[in-house]
Amino acid sequence: MNVLLVEDERALSHEVESFLASQGFNVDVAFNGKSASEKIYINNYDFILLDIGLPDYNGFDLLKEAREGGCDAAFIILTARSETDDKIHGLELGADDYLAKPFSLPELNARMQAIMRRKHGLTSNTVDIGGFVMDLNSRTVRYSANEVTLTKKEFDLLHYLALNRNRVLTRMQLTEHIWGDTMEDDYDSNFIDVHIKNLRKKLSAHGNIDWLETVRGIGYRLNL
């Protein structure tokens, strides 16, 4: 999952960035509204964590600009403001949640996971994929009583495919989601194919995985 953190407090920004990276997120950071606006225009994000009190921008204006520009990322407003009117205004502009400072990092992660579940119609932190059960909290995959040992990237690939089941995802989409923009110049390489091959090998040792489909010349689909 790709995250843009828009926060001008450097110490807090570093703390949040480090925590989210430890949870498996790819994190970009913007310290002002201009930089954030440019990153939103260029990149695709799953989440944008937005401080309202930026040095050069009103955070609400940035949120409005992003929504009007077609950005469909989930916005969580991070701010020292706790007034009800500000919360209502942010939600009316298209924010998905509101977290007042100071906040706990585990709570931030929990809210992000809750938004992700709602967005993809999930009712719990477990996802069933043809008998394979993904636990999003423990980041494990089990088939019956057996755990399938996956690398972080393999788990993230399977998770992203599961969230977009029955939808074809291109190699570029998968690369951007798993690696962020660090490999954007090499998205058509065989990195995704190699990881999918390894994923198939590990899963097929436990059960039938006919649902993991290759769409020739395009990418992959979890067909359930």
Task: Write out pLDDT tens, residues 97-122.
Answer: 999 888 999 999 999 988 988 887 77
Q: Do 181 and 197 reside in the same domain of the chain?
A: yes
The secondary element (H helix, E strand) that includes residue 36 is: helix 33-42
DSSP per-residue codes, 134-187: EETTTTEEEETTEEE---HHHHHHHHHHHHTTTS-EEHHHHHHHHHGGGGGGGT
**Model pLDDT, residue 187:** 45
Domain count for the chain, please give it: 2
pTM of the model: 0.73
Task: Write out pLDDT tens, residues 41-66.
Answer: 998 899 999 998 899 988 999 999 99
Q: Which domain holds residue 202?
A: 126-222
Q: Do 93 and 142 reside in the same domain of the chain?
A: no
For the CA atoms of 186, 71, 5, 22, the dihedral, rounded to the nearest 10 degrees, stands at: -60
Q: Do 111 and 137 reside in the same domain of the chain?
A: no
Quickly state the pLDDT bin for 23 (edges 50, 70, 90).
confident
Q: Do 158 and 108 reside in the same domain of the chain?
A: no
CATH number at 198 reads: 1.10.10.10
Q: Do 107 and 37 reside in the same domain of the chain?
A: yes
Distance CA 141, CA 161 (A): 14
Q: Do 131 and 204 reside in the same domain of the chain?
A: yes
DSSP per-residue codes, 94-139: T-SEEEESS--HHHHHHHHHHHHHHHTT-SSSEEEETTEEEETTTT
Q: Do 139 and 217 reside in the same domain of the chain?
A: yes
The residue out of 52, 86, 119 marking a domain boundary is 119
In 3D space, the residue among 165, 158, 153, 157 whose CA is nearest the CA of residue 142 turns out to be: 158
Q: Can you name the residues that pair with 169 across neighbouring β-strands?
A: 220
Q: Do 11 and 68 reside in the same domain of the chain?
A: yes
CATH number at 26 reads: 3.40.50.2300
| Vertex 28: Cα angle to 25 and 29 (nearest 5) | 125
The secondary element (H helix, E strand) that includes residue 5 is: strand 2-6
Mean pLDDT, all residues of the chain: 89
Average pLDDT for 169-192:
70
* 115 and 96 Cβ atoms separated by less than 8 Å: yes
The residue out of 99, 119, 139 marking a domain boundary is 119
Q: Do 82 and 146 reside in the same domain of the chain?
A: no
